[in-house]
């Protein structure tokens, strides 16, 4: 029996429930739909599902404004559908983690309604109240961070939208209520949580102003119009300085330790993954968050071998410094960021698809737990919302209004800017088939967000199911390989030099094992040769973007790589 907790071996897959599959024909994804796709997910070869918030919500931030932590949204099928889904997932050996929003609730949560009703109700101190705005802080979504409530004659603080008031975590009753919610879901059998925005839980106790000469809308606009290097640097500094007193404040570590102890009280290695890239939140490596995301990996304009190598070296070094050695968690996309094929692939569809394959192999075969985002396995791309009336992301709707009404930007340009920054672009319905509505919901029903037109051009599960060269088939192959090869899950990692600048290659090997696995990716448009001198020569191809190559014998010291290709090679009796 191995002591490795399941989440170190697992591949996670994020489901954005509203956009995954509509099971009851109302144009909105739900647990009935998710349950119907469990076989698809099992066959894909993922091990664990992260479900973006499924709680009842007025949906001003599509679930990230929770109005009841102890229930499932009615439009997702309520608790019966949730339980059926959870059973179905567990029955197939799939783990399920939920999305826990700690920093704030919805402004329609009964806690807030009570807190806002007077200055002396039992929950008066559950949120962050002030007689007048104590500073110039901004919400990162919609302008001033302080909003007035006439019933109290006071202002409340919100890091996110005005409909997302921040909880006062200094109040022990808040903590107790939230930990009760955590227990509720753990008792039901969920396998852990992705923790939303933990960095924003506490604010600077001195409430010191940011003091910048502009507000959020103007800073966004400045980011769009900055051209010179100096201006771009100034914009970056402004983004940091505007919010630096509103996140990353003391107190989070203590809180995470408490939550970890609570979770550790349950059997089955329940897991916590934080939406933060700060390795410090992994504590000693065994007493706070199990994993934080390696966001710096995706925070780049293009994925290059040099970028990946330097990212991996820096992260691994920092994780190795933790007394109990931390474990990495890698991802290239989620519901807040552009889709990885679009972001890192450019405009030519063939080229972007080829790069998406390489990046899929990269993120799943480097050391750590990968987290995939629904639809990336189909090569889904960002949706451009030409019509501002189709925008559903309130943050973009707000910005559009600012652009036209306050900043005097012409409507056409404003619409383009909003389409560019809206998170709707990566949230369009998952494409199951080539037919109407991409088989996300029935023909004739209007899906909550438009489907991407490329579903009719092969970017859909049904067409790819029967095509052994589809990107879906590629994901299945690399995930199956990862599952079959302990070295690819648990092995140490060493980058292999000796080739052209377009080649990224690394070795994975479990300490003490004679078997090593070499992964080589050629990001270039021309053939390349990898000359990995430190590697023992003869090897067998385990997987390759060229299916014919699988099983063939190769010399790993002189490995030929076709343009935009991936090759995974097994090496026995490795010397070094």
Residue 101 binds which entry of ligand GLC, Ca ion, none, CB below 5-8 Å type-dependent = ligand GLC
**Active site (annotated) includes residue 204:** no
Q: How far is the CB of 234 from Ca ion (least distance, A)?
A: 46
Q: What is the b/e burial string over 511-523, where b = at least 16 CB atoms within 10 angstroms of the residue's CB? A: eeeebbbbbbbbb
Which residues, in sequence order, are bridge partners of residue 371? 12, 331
Residue 482 binds which entry of Ca ion, ligand GLC, none, CB below 5-8 Å type-dependent = none
Q: Does 263 bind ligand GLC (CB under 6 A)?
A: no
User: CB-wise, 26 or 390, nearer to Ca ion?
Assistant: 26
Residue 26 binds which entry of Ca ion, ligand GLC, none, CB below 5-8 Å type-dependent = Ca ion
Q: How far apart (Å, rounded) are the C-alpha atoms in residues 342 and 339?
A: 5
Q: Is the dihedral of CA 545, 551, 557, 560 positive or negative?
A: negative
H/E stretch holding 416 reads helix 411-421
Residues 18-57 that bind Ca ion (CB under 5 A): 22, 24, 26, 28, 30
Q: How far apart (Å, rounded) are the C-alpha atoms in residues 464 and 480?
A: 17
Q: Can you read off the two tokens belonging to residue 267?
A: 């059997």
Residue 196 binds which entry of Ca ion, ligand GLC, none, CB below 5-8 Å type-dependent = ligand GLC
User: CB-wise, 65 or 439, nearer to ligand GLC?
Assistant: 65
Q: Does 442 bind Ca ion (CB under 5 A)?
A: no
Q: Does 197 bind ligand GLC (CB under 6 A)?
A: yes
* Closest CA relative to residue 77, chosen from 12, 146, 8, 29: 29
User: CB-wise, 160 or 432, nearer to ligand GLC?
Assistant: 160
Strands 566-571 vs 516-522: parallel, antiparallel or unpaired: antiparallel
Q: What is the biggest distance separating any 2 CA atoms in the chain, rounded to whole angstroms?
A: 76
**158 Cβ contact list (under 8 Å, min separation 6):** 104, 139, 145, 146, 147, 164, 165, 166
Residues 537-566 that bind Ca ion (CB under 5 A): none
Q: Which letter does DSSP use for residue 377 in this model?
A: G
In three-state secondary structure terms, 106 is coil
Of 254, 336, 413, 525, the one binding ligand GLC by CB under 6 A: 336
Q: How far apart (Å, rounded) are the C-alpha atoms in residues 457 and 114?
A: 52
Q: Does 61 bind ligand GLC (CB under 6 A)?
A: yes
Q: Does 567 bind ligand GLC (CB under 6 A)?
A: no
Q: Does 329 bind ligand GLC (CB under 6 A)?
A: no
Q: How far is the CB of 344 from ligand GLC (least distance, A)?
A: 20
Q: Does 64 bind ligand GLC (CB under 6 A)?
A: yes
Q: How far apart (Å, rounded) are the C-alpha atoms in residues 496 and 312?
A: 13
Size of site (CB under 5 A) for Ca ion: 5
Residue 186 binds which entry of Ca ion, ligand GLC, none, CB below 5-8 Å type-dependent = none
Q: How far is the CB of 445 from Ca ion (least distance, A)?
A: 9
Q: How far is the CB of 337 from ligand GLC (least distance, A)?
A: 9
**Active site (annotated) includes residue 572:** no
User: CB-wise, 168 or 312, nearer to ligand GLC?
Assistant: 168
Q: What is the b/e burial string over 388-415, where b = at least 16 CB atoms within 10 angstroms of the residue's CB? A: beebbbbbbbbbbbbbbeeeebeeeebb
Size of site (CB under 6 A) for ligand GLC: 9
Of 55, 146, 160, 523, the one binding ligand GLC by CB under 6 A: 160
Catalytic residue, from 30, 65, 142, 275: name it.
Answer: 275
Residues 264-293 that bind ligand GLC (CB under 6 A): 275
Burial class (CB in 10 A: 0-12, 13-18, 19+), 315: buried
Q: How far is the CB of 448 from Ca ion (least distance, A)?
A: 9
Strands 12-15 vs 48-51: parallel, antiparallel or unpaired: parallel
Q: How far is the CB of 17 from Ca ion (least distance, A)?
A: 10
Q: Does 196 bind ligand GLC (CB under 6 A)?
A: yes
Q: How far apart (Å, rounded) are the C-alpha atoms in residues 183 and 197?
A: 20
Q: How far is the CB of 196 from ligand GLC (least distance, A)?
A: 5
Catalytic residue, from 191, 196, 439, 463: name it.
Answer: 196
Contact at 8 Å (CB) between 132 and 125? no
Q: How far apart (Å, rounded) are the C-alpha atoms in residues 325 and 270?
A: 18
Q: How far is the CB of 32 from ligand GLC (least distance, A)?
A: 24
Other CB atoms within a 10 A radius of the CB of residue 542 amount to 21
Q: Does 496 bind ligand GLC (CB under 6 A)?
A: no
Of 101, 216, 378, 566, the one binding ligand GLC by CB under 6 A: 101
Q: Which residues are catalytic?
A: 196, 275
Provide the binding-site residues for ligand GLC, judged by CB under 6 A: 61, 64, 101, 160, 196-197, 275, 335-336
Per CB under 5 A, residues contacting Ca ion are: 22, 24, 26, 28, 30
């Amino acid at each position: 029996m191995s002591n490795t907790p399941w989440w170190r071996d697992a591949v996670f897959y994020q489901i954005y429930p509203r956009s995954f599959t509509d099971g009851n024909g109302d144009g909105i994804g739900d647990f009935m739909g998710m349950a119907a796709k469990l076989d698809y997910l099992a066959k894909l070869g993922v091990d664990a599902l992260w479900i973006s918030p499924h709680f009842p919500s007025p949906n001003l931030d599509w679930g990230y404004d929770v109005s009841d932590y102890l229930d499932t949204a009615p439009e997702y099928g309520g608790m019966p559908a949730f339980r059926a889904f959870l059973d179905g997932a567990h029955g197939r050996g799939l783990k399920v983690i939920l999305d826990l929003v700690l920093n704030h609730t919805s402004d329609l949560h009964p806690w807030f309604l009570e807190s806002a009703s007077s200055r002396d109700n039992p929950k008066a101190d559950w949120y962050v109240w002030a007689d007048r705005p104590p500073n110039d802080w901004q919400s990162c979504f919609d302008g001033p961070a302080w909003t007035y409530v006439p019933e109290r004659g006071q202002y409340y603080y919100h890091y996110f939208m005005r409909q997302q008031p921040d909880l006062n975590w200094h109040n022990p009753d808040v903590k107790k209520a939230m930990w009760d919610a955590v227990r509720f879901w753990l008792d039901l059998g969920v396998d852990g949580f992705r923790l939303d925005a933990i960095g924003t839980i506490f604010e600077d106790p001195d409430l010191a102003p940011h003091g910048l000469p502009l507000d959020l809308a103007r800073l966004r606009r400045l980011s769009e119009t900055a051209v010179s290097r100096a201006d771009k640097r100034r914009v970056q500094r402004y983004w940091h300085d505007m919010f630096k007193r509103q996140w990353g404040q003391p107190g989070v570590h203590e809180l995470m330790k408490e939550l970890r102890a609570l979770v550790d009280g349950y059997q089955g290695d329940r897991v916590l993954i934080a939406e933060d890239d700060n390795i410090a939140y992994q504590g000693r490596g065994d007493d706070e968050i199990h994993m934080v995301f390696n966001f710096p990996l995706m925070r780049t304009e293009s994925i290059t071998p040099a970028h990946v190598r330097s990212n991996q070296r820096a992260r691994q070094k920092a994780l190795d410094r933790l007394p109990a050695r931390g474990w990495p968690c890698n991802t290239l996309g989620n519901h807040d960021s552009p889709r990885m094929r679009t972001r890192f692939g450019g405009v030519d569809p063939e080229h972007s698809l080829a790069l998406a394959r390489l990046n899929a192999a990269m993120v799943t075969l480097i050391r750590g737990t990968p987290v995939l985002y629904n639809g990336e396995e189909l090569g889904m791309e960002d949706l451009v919302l030409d019509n501002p009336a189709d925008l559903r992301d309130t943050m973009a709707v707000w910005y559009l209004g600012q652009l036209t009404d306050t900043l005097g930007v012409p409507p056409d340009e404003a619409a383009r800017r909003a389409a560019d920054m809206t998170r709707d672009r990566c949230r369009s319905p998952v494409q199951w088939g080539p037919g109407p509505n991409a088989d996300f919901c029935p023909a004739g029903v209007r899906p909550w967000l438009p489907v991407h037109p490329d579903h009719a051009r092969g970017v859909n599960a049904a067409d790819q199911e029967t095509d052994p060269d589809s990107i879906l088939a590629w994901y299945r192959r690399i995930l199956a390989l990862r599952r079959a090869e302990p070295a690819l899950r648990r092995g140490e990692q060493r980058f292999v030099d000796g080739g052209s600048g377009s080649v990224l290659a690394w070795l994975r090997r479990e300490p003490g094992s004679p078997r090593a696995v070499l992964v080589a990716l050629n990001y270039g448009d021309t053939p390349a040769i990898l000359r990995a001198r430190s590697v023992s020569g003869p090897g067998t191809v385990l997987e390759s973007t060229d299916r014919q190559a699988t099983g063939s014998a190769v010399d790993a010291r002189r490995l030929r790589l076709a343009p935009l290709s991936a090759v995974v090679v097994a090496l026995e009796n490795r010397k070094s």
